[in-house]
Amino acid sequence: MEALIEFIQIDSSATEALVAISTETFTETFAPTNSAGSMAQYVANNLTATKLSKELDCRDSAFYLVKVNSEVAGYLKLNFNEAQSDVKDANAVEIERIYLKRAFQGQKLGLFLINKAIEIAKLEGKRYVWLGVWEHNHKAISFYQKIGFVQFDSHEFKLGDEIQLDLMMKLELKEA
Ligand SMILES: CC(C)(COP(=O)(O)OP(=O)(O)OC[C@H]1O[C@@H](n2cnc3c(N)ncnc32)[C@H](O)[C@@H]1OP(=O)(O)O)[C@@H](O)C(=O)NCCC(=O)NCCS
Protein backbone atom coordinates (compact mmCIF):
# COMPACT_ATOMS: atom_id res chain seq x y z
CA MET A 1 0.00 0.00 0.00
CA GLU A 2 1.24 3.50 -0.81
CA ALA A 3 2.27 5.67 2.11
CA LEU A 4 -0.04 8.55 2.99
CA ILE A 5 2.02 11.76 2.97
CA GLU A 6 0.57 14.87 4.59
CA PHE A 7 1.99 18.39 4.59
CA ILE A 8 0.40 20.41 7.37
CA GLN A 9 0.92 24.02 8.38
CA ILE A 10 0.94 24.32 12.17
CA ASP A 11 0.39 27.11 14.71
CA SER A 12 1.26 27.43 18.37
CA SER A 13 -1.34 24.81 19.33
CA ALA A 14 1.20 22.30 17.95
CA THR A 15 4.12 23.60 20.02
CA GLU A 16 4.60 20.28 21.82
CA ALA A 17 4.84 18.33 18.57
CA LEU A 18 7.32 20.89 17.22
CA VAL A 19 9.52 20.71 20.33
CA ALA A 20 9.59 16.91 19.99
CA ILE A 21 10.47 16.74 16.27
CA SER A 22 12.95 19.65 16.49
CA THR A 23 14.83 18.16 19.42
CA GLU A 24 14.92 14.66 17.98
CA THR A 25 16.12 15.68 14.52
CA PHE A 26 18.60 18.31 15.73
CA THR A 27 20.16 15.82 18.11
CA GLU A 28 20.30 13.01 15.54
CA THR A 29 21.90 15.31 12.98
CA PHE A 30 24.49 17.17 15.05
CA ALA A 31 25.27 15.21 18.24
CA PRO A 32 27.76 12.89 16.48
CA THR A 33 29.90 15.82 15.28
CA ASN A 34 29.60 18.40 18.09
CA SER A 35 30.42 18.61 21.79
CA ALA A 36 27.74 17.45 24.24
CA GLY A 37 27.96 20.82 26.04
CA SER A 38 27.28 22.91 22.93
CA MET A 39 24.45 20.62 21.91
CA ALA A 40 22.79 20.78 25.33
CA GLN A 41 23.16 24.55 25.44
CA TYR A 42 21.62 24.97 21.98
CA VAL A 43 18.67 22.70 22.74
CA ALA A 44 18.05 24.37 26.14
CA ASN A 45 18.17 27.88 24.64
CA ASN A 46 16.52 27.38 21.28
CA LEU A 47 14.23 24.38 21.23
CA THR A 48 12.06 25.09 24.26
CA ALA A 49 8.26 25.38 24.19
CA THR A 50 8.52 29.09 25.07
CA LYS A 51 10.94 29.86 22.24
CA LEU A 52 9.22 27.73 19.62
CA SER A 53 5.69 28.92 20.42
CA LYS A 54 6.94 32.49 19.96
CA GLU A 55 8.42 31.51 16.57
CA LEU A 56 5.12 29.81 15.67
CA ASP A 57 3.28 33.07 16.45
CA CYS A 58 5.56 35.16 14.21
CA ARG A 59 3.48 36.24 11.22
CA ASP A 60 6.49 36.28 8.87
CA SER A 61 7.40 32.65 9.63
CA ALA A 62 5.61 29.46 8.63
CA PHE A 63 6.06 25.96 10.02
CA TYR A 64 4.93 22.73 8.37
CA LEU A 65 5.01 19.13 9.51
CA VAL A 66 5.35 16.26 7.07
CA LYS A 67 3.56 13.13 8.24
CA VAL A 68 3.91 9.66 6.78
CA ASN A 69 1.00 7.37 7.61
CA SER A 70 0.10 9.80 10.44
CA GLU A 71 3.59 9.73 12.01
CA VAL A 72 5.52 13.01 12.14
CA ALA A 73 8.53 12.40 9.85
CA GLY A 74 10.00 15.90 9.77
CA TYR A 75 9.34 19.59 9.48
CA LEU A 76 10.03 22.73 7.50
CA LYS A 77 10.39 26.33 8.67
CA LEU A 78 10.18 29.24 6.21
CA ASN A 79 10.92 32.89 6.92
CA PHE A 80 9.69 35.88 4.95
CA ASN A 81 10.60 39.58 5.02
CA GLU A 82 12.20 40.75 8.29
CA ALA A 83 11.91 37.29 9.89
CA GLN A 84 14.74 36.06 7.64
CA SER A 85 17.86 35.44 9.71
CA ASP A 86 20.02 37.27 7.16
CA VAL A 87 19.57 38.79 3.67
CA LYS A 88 16.09 40.17 4.64
CA ASP A 89 15.25 40.64 0.97
CA ALA A 90 11.49 40.97 0.42
CA ASN A 91 11.99 39.06 -2.87
CA ALA A 92 13.37 36.00 -1.06
CA VAL A 93 12.24 33.21 1.23
CA GLU A 94 14.57 31.61 3.74
CA ILE A 95 14.35 27.89 4.35
CA GLU A 96 15.56 28.18 7.94
CA ARG A 97 14.99 24.56 8.94
CA ILE A 98 14.39 21.39 6.99
CA TYR A 99 14.74 18.25 9.06
CA LEU A 100 13.68 14.64 8.70
CA LYS A 101 14.00 11.85 11.23
CA ARG A 102 16.75 9.48 10.18
CA ALA A 103 14.30 6.66 9.45
CA PHE A 104 12.59 8.88 6.85
CA GLN A 105 15.70 10.17 5.07
CA GLY A 106 16.69 9.05 1.56
CA GLN A 107 13.09 8.52 0.43
CA LYS A 108 12.63 11.79 -1.48
CA LEU A 109 10.84 13.48 1.43
CA GLY A 110 13.55 16.15 1.54
CA LEU A 111 12.91 16.85 -2.12
CA PHE A 112 9.16 16.91 -1.38
CA LEU A 113 9.72 19.59 1.32
CA ILE A 114 12.03 21.70 -0.86
CA ASN A 115 9.48 21.55 -3.67
CA LYS A 116 6.77 22.72 -1.24
CA ALA A 117 9.00 25.63 -0.20
CA ILE A 118 9.56 26.52 -3.87
CA GLU A 119 5.83 26.30 -4.60
CA ILE A 120 5.00 28.60 -1.66
CA ALA A 121 7.74 31.07 -2.63
CA LYS A 122 6.44 31.20 -6.22
CA LEU A 123 2.86 31.70 -5.05
CA GLU A 124 4.11 34.64 -2.97
CA GLY A 125 5.85 36.04 -6.06
CA LYS A 126 9.38 35.63 -4.67
CA ARG A 127 12.45 35.43 -6.88
CA TYR A 128 14.64 33.00 -4.95
CA VAL A 129 14.86 30.74 -1.92
CA TRP A 130 17.97 30.61 0.24
CA LEU A 131 19.30 28.79 3.29
CA GLY A 132 22.27 28.49 5.61
CA VAL A 133 23.96 25.12 6.03
CA TRP A 134 26.83 24.21 8.36
CA GLU A 135 30.04 23.96 6.32
CA HIS A 136 30.60 20.42 7.68
CA ASN A 137 27.10 19.12 6.94
CA HIS A 138 28.32 17.51 3.71
CA LYS A 139 25.23 15.36 3.30
CA ALA A 140 22.88 18.34 3.28
CA ILE A 141 25.25 20.42 1.07
CA SER A 142 25.32 17.65 -1.59
CA PHE A 143 21.56 17.37 -1.37
CA TYR A 144 21.12 21.13 -1.98
CA GLN A 145 23.71 21.15 -4.79
CA LYS A 146 21.93 18.30 -6.51
CA ILE A 147 18.71 20.35 -6.49
CA GLY A 148 20.58 23.34 -7.98
CA PHE A 149 21.39 25.55 -4.98
CA VAL A 150 24.65 27.51 -5.29
CA GLN A 151 26.69 29.16 -2.57
CA PHE A 152 26.53 32.96 -2.56
CA ASP A 153 27.90 33.93 0.87
CA SER A 154 28.52 32.63 4.38
CA HIS A 155 27.45 33.67 7.88
CA GLU A 156 28.16 32.75 11.48
CA PHE A 157 25.94 30.44 13.48
CA LYS A 158 26.15 30.05 17.25
CA LEU A 159 26.00 26.52 18.62
CA GLY A 160 26.27 26.92 22.39
CA ASP A 161 29.48 28.89 22.89
CA GLU A 162 30.93 27.82 19.56
CA ILE A 163 30.85 30.05 16.51
CA GLN A 164 30.40 27.96 13.38
CA LEU A 165 30.37 28.85 9.72
CA ASP A 166 27.23 28.38 7.65
CA LEU A 167 27.39 28.44 3.87
CA MET A 168 24.56 30.48 2.40
CA MET A 169 23.09 28.87 -0.69
CA LYS A 170 20.37 30.09 -3.03
CA LEU A 171 18.13 28.78 -5.76
CA GLU A 172 16.73 31.21 -8.31
CA LEU A 173 13.10 30.51 -9.16
CA LYS A 174 12.10 30.30 -12.77
CA GLU A 175 8.75 31.50 -14.05
CA ALA A 176 6.21 28.66 -14.15
C1 LIG B 1 19.06 16.85 4.12
C2 LIG B 1 17.71 16.13 4.04
C3 LIG B 1 16.57 17.13 4.25
C4 LIG B 1 17.58 15.51 2.63
O5 LIG B 1 16.34 14.84 2.52
P6 LIG B 1 16.26 13.33 2.03
O7 LIG B 1 14.82 12.94 2.07
O8 LIG B 1 17.20 12.50 2.83
O9 LIG B 1 16.78 13.41 0.54
P10 LIG B 1 15.96 12.90 -0.74
O11 LIG B 1 15.68 11.46 -0.58
O12 LIG B 1 14.78 13.81 -0.98
O13 LIG B 1 17.02 13.13 -1.89
C14 LIG B 1 16.72 13.93 -3.03
C15 LIG B 1 17.85 13.85 -3.99
O16 LIG B 1 19.05 14.30 -3.38
C17 LIG B 1 20.00 13.25 -3.41
N18 LIG B 1 20.72 13.20 -2.17
C19 LIG B 1 20.22 13.02 -0.93
N20 LIG B 1 21.22 12.97 -0.04
C21 LIG B 1 22.36 13.10 -0.76
C22 LIG B 1 23.73 13.07 -0.45
N23 LIG B 1 24.15 12.89 0.80
N24 LIG B 1 24.65 13.24 -1.44
C25 LIG B 1 24.24 13.41 -2.72
N26 LIG B 1 22.96 13.41 -3.09
C27 LIG B 1 22.03 13.26 -2.12
C28 LIG B 1 19.22 11.98 -3.57
O29 LIG B 1 20.00 10.96 -4.19
C30 LIG B 1 18.10 12.42 -4.45
O31 LIG B 1 18.54 12.49 -5.81
P32 LIG B 1 17.79 11.67 -6.94
O33 LIG B 1 16.45 12.33 -7.03
O34 LIG B 1 18.63 11.86 -8.14
O35 LIG B 1 17.75 10.27 -6.45
C36 LIG B 1 17.58 14.98 5.06
O37 LIG B 1 18.54 14.00 4.81
C38 LIG B 1 17.72 15.45 6.52
O39 LIG B 1 16.73 15.81 7.15
N40 LIG B 1 18.95 15.41 7.06
C41 LIG B 1 19.19 15.72 8.47
C42 LIG B 1 18.87 17.15 8.82
C43 LIG B 1 19.69 18.15 8.05
O44 LIG B 1 20.89 18.01 7.88
N45 LIG B 1 18.99 19.18 7.61
C46 LIG B 1 19.59 20.26 6.88
C47 LIG B 1 20.08 21.29 7.84
S48 LIG B 1 20.69 22.68 6.93
The response to whether residue 107 sits with its C-beta less than 6 Å from ligand 1 reads: yes
Rounded to 5 degrees, what angle do the CA atoms 42, 7, 109 make?
70
The ligand 1 atom nearest the CA atom of 109: 7
**Residue nearest (by alpha carbon) to ligand 1 atom 30:** 108
Burial of 32-63, coded b for 16+ CB within 10 Å and e otherwise, reads eebeeebbebbbeeebeeeebbebbeeeebbb
Atom 23 in ligand 1: which residue has the minimum CA distance?
Answer: 139
26 residue type, one letter: F
Q: Is the pTM here over 0.85, yes or no?
A: yes
Distance from the alpha carbon of residue 165 to the mean position of ligand 1, in angstroms: 20
pLDDT at res. 1 = 79
Residue 79 C-alpha to ligand 1 middle, in angstroms?
21
Going by CA atoms, what residue is nearest to atom 7 of ligand 1? 110
Q: HEC profile for the chain?
A: CCCCEEEEEECHHHHHHHHHHHHHHHHHHHHHHCCHHHHHHHHHHHCCHHHHHHHHHCCCEEEEEEEECCEEEEEEEEEEHHHCCCCCCCCEEEEEEEEECHHHCCCCHHHHHHHHHHHHHHHCCCCEEEEEEECCCHHHHHHHHHHCCEEEEEEEEEECCEEEEEEEEEEECCCC
CATH 3.50.50.60 describes domain 5-172 = no
Res 114: pLDDT = 98
Q: Is the CB of 75 under 6 A from ligand 1?
A: no
Output the pLDDT for position 174: 81
From CA 84, how far away is CA 77, in angstroms rounded?
11
Pocket perturbation via mutation, ligand 1, pick of 143, 147, 151, 154 by most ligand atoms within 8 A of CB = 143
Contact 110, 127 (CB under 8 A): no
Catalytic residue numbers read 144
CA 173 to ligand 1 centroid distance, Å: 20
pLDDT along the chain (176 residues), means of 10: 94 98 97 95 96 98 98 98 95 98 98 98 98 97 98 93 95 84
